[in-house]
Amino acid sequence: MNPLTGYLLLAALLFSIGLAGALTRRNAILVLIGIELMLNAANLNFIAFWRYGPNPEALTGVMFVLFAIAIAAAEAAVGLALIISIYRHYKTTNVNDVNELKG
Amino acid sequence: MTLAFAILAALIVVSAVAAMTLRNLVHCALCLAVAFIGLAGTYLQLGAQFVGLSQVLVYVGAVAILIVFAILLTRSGEPGPGRQFSATALMGVAIALAVFAVLGKVITSSAVAKRGVLPAPQTSVAQLGQKLMTDYILPLEVLALLLTAAMIGAVIIALKEKESAK
């Protein structure tokens, strides 16, 4: 098997694990952890394509991942602040109980 | 497929599955940190040293700690009496399996699977810094602004609500 295929399959598996967690867990913090795993799977794809793709001197994949890591850090900070705010308001982090907008 | 890749892949997958299935949230956060360390090892193996070390600094050092603090502040470290998974958990797992099946099929049948392996690129951190300070200077500044805005926003969102606002 080609090394690139191995890395891409690992990233796909990691993405699916994160997606399964984000869809099935009831705690909002765990949903956020699942989203972080999916973001990391995308980063792994970028690095693998940079390493095994043509023209790696341009450093495009590495640059994209560096910017993605910084944006993911901002996303995690805002997401966790929202979860803390929701906990203060509803006294729960269970996403099923936060249903005031439900029709 | 080298042994190092197999070990790292097994570490990442096992700790990611553990992070998504364990009952105690603190254990989940620690497993997530292990998965991030495994990913950093994969980046180092692929020759992206700077990204691997930033991964350790940002994800293991900041995001995982932030998650632990959020668990502490929401007092959800101890698992509650109710179920940990939502009522439609089976559907979620089925969707994730379907996504993996489609991605796996596409990856194994694509043209990249037949591509020859190129030699490792000779890139240094100095080149990376030069690029960041020349070609990518505007995105870098925008990113700095975004990070500042996000941090101020996070503090304002997490501030205690005023009594009069209730």
The CATH number of whichever domain residue A63 belongs to comes to 1.10.287.3510
B86-108 mean pLDDT: 92
Considering B34-38, B83-87, B160-164, the range whose residues carry the highest mean pLDDT is B34-38
Quote the minimal CA–CA distance from B106 to chain A in Å. 10
Considering B47-61, B77-91, B116-130, the range whose residues carry the highest mean pLDDT is B47-61
Of A14-23, B35-44, B66-75, the poorest mean pLDDT is in B66-75
Question: Is the CB of A47 less than 8 angstroms away from the CB of B114?
Answer: no
Decide if A95 is inside a domain.
Answer: no
Its pTM stands at: 0.90
Residue of A24 and B111 predicted with greater confidence: A24
Cα B146 off chain centre by = 19
What is the number of domains present in chain A? 1
Quote the minimal CA–CA distance from B74 to chain A in Å. 6
Q: How confident is the model at residue A95 (pLDDT cuts 50, 70, 90)?
A: confident
B123-149 mean pLDDT: 92
Decide if A100 is inside a domain.
Answer: no
CA pair distance B96, A23, nearest whole angstrom:
9
How many beta-carbon contacts under 8 Å exist across A and B?
A: 244
Asked if residue B112 has pLDDT above 90, the reply is no
**Residue B160 pLDDT:** 76
Quote the minimal CA–CA distance from A49 to chain B in Å. 10
Residue of A88 and A18 predicted with greater confidence: A18
Contacts of A5 in chain B (CB under 8 A): 107-108, 112-113
Residues 6+ apart with CB under 8 A from B85: A24, A25, A26
Q: How confident is the model at residue B115 (pLDDT cuts 50, 70, 90)?
A: confident
Question: Is the CB of B132 less than 8 angstroms away from the CB of A63?
Answer: yes
Question: Is the CB of A16 less than 8 angstroms away from the CB of B97?
Answer: yes
What distance, in Å, lies between the first and last C-alpha atoms of chain B? 59
Asked if residue B63 has pLDDT above 60, the reply is yes
Quote the minimal CA–CA distance from B96 to chain A in Å. 5
Chain B residue closest in CA terms to A10 = B9
Inter-residue contact B1 to A1 (CB < 8 Å): yes
Q: Among residues of chain B, what percentage have pLDDT more than 70?
A: 92
Contacts of B154 in chain A (CB under 8 A): 77-78, 80-81
Decide if A34 is inside a domain.
Answer: yes
Contacts of A73 in chain B (CB under 8 A): 58, 62-63, 147
Decide if A102 is inside a domain.
Answer: no
Decide if A98 is inside a domain.
Answer: no
Two tokens, residue B32: 């997530």
**Residue A94 pLDDT:** 84
**Residue B164 pLDDT:** 53
Architecture of domain B1-78: Up-down Bundle (1.20)
Q: Annotate A18-79 with three-state secondary structure.
A: HHHHHHHECEHHHHHHHHHHHHHHHHHHHHHHHHHCCCHHHCHHHHHHHHHHHHHHHHHHHH
Query: Residue A80: which of B47, B67, B113 has the nearest Cβ?
Result: B67
User: Domain limits of chain B?
Assistant: 1-78, 124-159
A31-38 mean pLDDT: 94
Asked if residue B105 has pLDDT above 80, the reply is yes
Q: Which domain holds residue A22?
A: 3-90
pLDDT in tens, A8-23: 999 999 999 999 999 9
CA pair distance B97, B143, nearest whole angstrom:
35
**Residue B81 pLDDT:** 64
Q: Give the type of residue at B145.
A: L
Contacts of A18 in chain B (CB under 8 A): 16, 20
Asked if residue B80 has pLDDT above 80, the reply is no
**Residue B53 pLDDT:** 93
Residue B124 backbone phi and psi in degrees, to 5: -120, 165
Question: Is the CB of A26 less than 8 angstroms away from the CB of B83?
Answer: yes
